């Protein structure tokens, strides 16, 4: 087992010899020796990154560079495939069925009390906690949970591009890198890396792109000629073996149908790929900034996407569904003296692991309210057996359980889906009606919650 950060405290204590050290001095020394944290959140980034092979034309050298430094989780899944509840779950450490934050519009600031968040835990432990960009939903946060949060009220998140223009090209404006708020989020976080507070740092960088509109500067389109864009795996009859609850999630916005009818499906994919390159550029700026900073050698890095994104798979566009594409996202950890460069884990994990894992690595006590488990054992030994599945929820009563082989979905109306990823990685064949697989469904269903709190009172059930 690899030596952890806090083991250095034992050596320091031995070196002190007979000199008296007060409990206050020991506590202060412990805080100083804790690792820094660079917490990188990316909005709507699916697995279309080069090292995960989600799309053969993806170009993400900087995210790949981060993966080369540490451990990539190849089967990582969100808690909720929607921005607001996904971030509420990750930052609180509590699943939707514990809180009532199930969907976008379930206002997390009305559900939670200040002081429950991950950043608050680190601040209480003596950390200098700073954040910028989209960490919680939109520009919302509890000021008391942060030492400082960048003021972005004067910035245009998408460079002034109207959202309705953002599904595809042509762009309405010839914008520059620095016209998008993410540029300033990164610059501000790099400045924080180089300040000298007498405390360890928790630096949260929330990148908005590739969230709609898919509208980066025009130069990012150069690598993606429209005529050469490759479509994702697709079957026109893919929804035929689903009941109404599953079909509804796929077609409710009719986005994909519109792209098929207007011939802009490839253009939408091109725009998404180009926007991911813009995001990758900003990840590279963060890494370069960290490497040049005084905290370079003692900083944990965790990069996560808040959920995935569909671009035609299962006749679906956007997130808001419980299949592989809208629930899976990149998840990378770099932990000095623990993770090995360029390693991978195929264990199914979800983002409820972020809160307990960071607390354990930093030597912080875990709140009793946490619903997730620490993945420190996997950071230490990625190839070990991991018997805990990933769980994703979208709306009260709708859940999916993802094991290393199977995806099981149960909707609030009792309808089900079952997919065997060892034979069907595209989830084209719903096996729920196969009697010989009933034991698989029973085993996976055991992970479903026994009780789910009601939806937030501000939303209709």
Indicate the helix (H) or strand (E) that contains 149.
strand 148-149
- How many helices (H) and strands (E) the chain has is answered by 15, 14
Per-residue DSSP letter, 177: G
| Catalytic (active site) residue 83 | yes
| Catalytic (active site) residue 128 | no
Q: Which residue(s) pair with 332 in the sheet? A: 72, 303
Place of tokens 């590739």: 210
Instruction: Determine the Cα–Cα distance for residues 350 and 196; give it in Å rounded to an integer.
Output: 34
- What Cα–Cα distance (Å) separates residue 187 from each residue in 146, 171, 191? 18, 25, 6
Instruction: Determine the Cα–Cα distance for residues 313 and 255; give it in Å rounded to an integer.
Output: 12
Q: What is the dihedral of CA 423, 429, 430, 435, to 10 degrees?
A: -60
The tokens of 206 are what? Answer: 């929330």
- Of 137, 168, 316, 399, the catalytic one is 137
Cis peptide preceding 210, ω within 30 of 0: yes
The torsion region of residue 395 among left (phi > 0), alpha (psi -120 to 50) and beta comes to left
Cite the active site residues.
Answer: 83, 137
């Amino acid at each position: 087992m690899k030596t952890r950060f806090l083991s250095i405290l034992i050596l320091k204590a031995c070196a002190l010899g007979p000199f008296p050290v007060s409990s206050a001095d020991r506590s202060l020394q412990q805080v100083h020796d804790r690792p820094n944290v660079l917490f990188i959140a990316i909005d709507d980034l699916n697995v279309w990154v080069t090292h995960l092979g989600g799309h053969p034309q993806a170009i993400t050298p900087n995210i790949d560079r981060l993966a080369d430094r540490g451990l990539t989780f190849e089967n990582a899944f969100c808690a909720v495939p929607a921005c607001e509840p996904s971030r509420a779950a990750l930052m609180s450490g509590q699943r939707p069925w514990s809180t009532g934050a199930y969907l976008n519009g379930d206002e997390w600031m009305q559900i939670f009390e200040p002081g429950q968040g991950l950043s608050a835990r680190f601040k209480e432990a003596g950390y200098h906690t700073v954040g910028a960009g989209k960490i919680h939903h939109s520009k919302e946060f509890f000021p008391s949970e942060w030492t400082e949060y960048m003021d972005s009220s004067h910035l245009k998140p998408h460079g002034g591009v109207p959202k309705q223009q953002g599904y595809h090209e042509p762009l309405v404006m010839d914008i520059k890198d620095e016209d998008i708020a993410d540029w300033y989020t990164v610059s501000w976080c790099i400045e924080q890396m180089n300040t000298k507070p007498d405390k360890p740092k928790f630096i949260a960088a929330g990148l908005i792109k590739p969230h709609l509109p898919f509208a980066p500067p025009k130069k990012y389109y150069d690598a993606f000629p429209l005529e050469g864009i490759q479509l994702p795996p697709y079957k026109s009859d893919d929804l035929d073996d689903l009941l109404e609850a599953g079909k509804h999630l796929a077609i409710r916005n009719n986005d994909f149908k519109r792209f098929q009818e207007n011939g802009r499906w490839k253009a939408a994919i091109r725009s998404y790929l180009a926007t991911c390159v813009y995001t990758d550029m900003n990840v590279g700026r963060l890494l370069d900034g960290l490497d040049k900073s005084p905290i370079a050698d003692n900083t944990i890095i965790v990069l996560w996407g808040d959920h995935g994104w569909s671009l035609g798979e299962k006749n679906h566009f956007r997130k808001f569904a419980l299949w592989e594409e809208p629930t899976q996202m990149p998840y990378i950890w770099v932990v000095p003296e623990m993770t090995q460069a360029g390693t991978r884990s195929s264990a199914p994990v979800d983002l409820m692991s972020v809160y307990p894992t960071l607390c354990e690595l930093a030597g912080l006590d875990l709140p009793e309210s946490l619903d997730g488990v620490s993945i420190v054992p996997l950071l230490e030994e990625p190839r070990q057996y991991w018997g805990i599945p990933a769980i994703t929820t979208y709306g009260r009563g709708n859940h999916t359980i993802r094991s290393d082989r199977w995806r099981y979905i149960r909707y609030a109306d009792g309808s089900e889906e079952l997919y065997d990823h060892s034979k069907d990685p595209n989830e084209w064949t719903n096996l729920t009606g196969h009697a010989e697989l009933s034991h698989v469904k029973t085993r996976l269903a055991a992970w479903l919650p026994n009780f789910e709190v009601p939806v937030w009172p501000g939303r209709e059930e």
